[in-house]
C-alpha cells in the first residue's frame, strides 16, 4: 500500500482530474498519480495536510463525519472574538441544516488587517484594506466531524470571516513542518499507524 503526505497549496482542487483547474495530482509524477487518490478533500483556497493513498478503505476510516476524527486548522480571520463567542464555538453552534459539534478554539494572536495583507486573497484585498487598522486575528480550531466548509461556517456564525485556512493535523498525524507547499513525501510506518489508529 502507498501512503503520502502532501502539503496542498492554495488554488488547486482536490480531485484526480479537472477540466478547468490545476489539481493536487498535478504535483505528482504521472506514474505515481495514476495509483493514488486523495483522502477527503480541501477547498481550492485551503492549504495544508492532505493524505493520498491507494488504500481504498482509508477514506472511510478517517474522513466520514460520524467517525469524529479530529482535524485541526490554523487560520487568519477578520473580526474579533471574546469569551462569549469562544463559548459558543466550543459548545456547538446551530447553523442551517445542522448544529456543529463542540470544537476546541485557541486564539494565537491579534492583528490589524494591514499586518496580514500578504495573506489576503487578491479578490478581497482591496475591500479589506479600506480598513487597514481593522481587527484581525490568528487562531486554531479543532473540529470532530468535518462537514462542508465547517470551519469557515463556524467562524462566520460568530461574525468573523476567514481569509487564510490551513489544515495542520488529522487526528494525531501532523503536517511535516519541513514540507513546503506543493511538496509531498511517503508516510513513515509509524505515521501510517497513527492514521489508522486515529480515534
Q: Write the CATH number for 84.
A: 3.30.70.1560
Confidence label for 40 from pLDDT (cuts 50, 70 and 90): confident
* Cβ(43)–Cβ(149) below 8 Å: yes
CATH number at residue 189: 3.30.70.580
Q: How many domains does the chain have?
A: 2
> What pairing do the DSSP bridges indicate for beta strands 135-143 and 71-78?
antiparallel
Residue 44: CB atoms within 10 A of its CB come to 15
* pLDDT tens for each residue of 113-122: 999 999 999 9
Q: Is pLDDT of 26 > 60?
A: yes
Where does the pLDDT of residue 198 fall: very low under 50, low under 70, confident under 90, or very high at 90 and above? low
- Same-domain check for residues 126 and 45: no
Are residue 188 and residue 151 in the same domain, yes or no?
A: no
Q: Domain of 135?
A: 70-169
Percent of residues, the chain, with pLDDT higher than 70: 95
Average pLDDT, whole number, for the chain?
90
Could you give the CA distance from residue 199 to residue 196 in angstroms, rounded to a whole number?
9
Q: Clarify whether 43 is annotated catalytic.
A: yes
Q: Which of 43, 54, 168, 176 is catalytic?
A: 43
Task: Name residue, grid cell 501532523.
Answer: 174
pLDDT at 64: 65
Residue 175 has what pLDDT? 96
User: Rounded to 5 degrees, what are φ and ψ at 88?
Assistant: -60, -50
Of the CA atoms within 13 Å of residue 122, those in its CB half-sphere come to 2
Does pTM top 0.85 for this prediction?
yes
Same domain for 117 and 53: no
One domain for residues 79 and 144: yes
Same domain for 153 and 80 = yes
Whether residue 140 is found in the same domain as residue 178: no
pLDDT tens column, 97-155: 778 889 999 999 999 999 999 999 999 999 999 999 999 999 999 998 777 788 999 99
| Of the listed ranges 35-39, 104-108, 195-199, the one predicted with least confidence | 195-199
Provide, rounded to the nearest whole percent, the portion of the chain with pLDDT above 90: 68
37 and 92 in a single domain? The answer is: no
Amino acid at each position: 500500500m502507498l501512503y503520502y503526505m502532501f502539503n496542498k497549496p492554495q488554488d488547486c482542487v482536490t480531485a484526480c482530474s479537472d477540466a478547468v483547474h490545476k489539481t493536487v495530482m498535478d504535483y505528482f509524477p504521472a506514474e505515481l498519480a495514476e495509483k493514488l487518490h486523495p483522502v477527503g478533500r480541501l477547498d481550492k483556497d485551503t492549504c495544508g495536510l492532505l493524505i493520498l493513498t491507494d488504500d481504498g478503505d482509508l477514506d472511510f476510516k478517517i474522513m466520514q463525519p460520524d467517525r469524529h476524527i479530529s482535524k485541526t486548522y490554523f487560520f487568519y480571520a477578520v473580526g474579533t472574538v471574546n469569551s462569549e463567542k469562544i463559548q459558543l464555538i466550543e459548545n456547538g453552534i446551530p447553523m442551517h441544516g445542522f448544529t456543529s459539534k463542540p470544537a476546541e478554539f485557541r486564539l494565537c494572536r491579534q492583528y490589524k488587517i494591514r499586518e496580514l495583507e500578504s495573506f489576503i486573497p487578491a479578490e478581497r484585498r482591496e475591500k479589506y484594506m479600506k480598513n487597514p487598522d481593522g481587527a484581525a486575528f490568528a487562531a486554531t480550531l479543532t473540529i470532530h466531524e468535518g462537514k462542508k466548509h465547517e470551519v469557515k461556517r463556524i467562524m462566520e456564525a460568530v461574525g468573523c470571516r476567514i481569509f487564510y485556512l490551513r489544515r495542520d493535523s488529522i487526528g494525531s498525524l501532523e503536517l511535516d513542518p519541513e514540507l513546503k507547499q506543493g511538496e509531498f513525501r511517503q508516510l513513515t510506518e509509524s505515521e501510517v499507524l497513527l492514521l489508522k489508529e486515529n480515534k
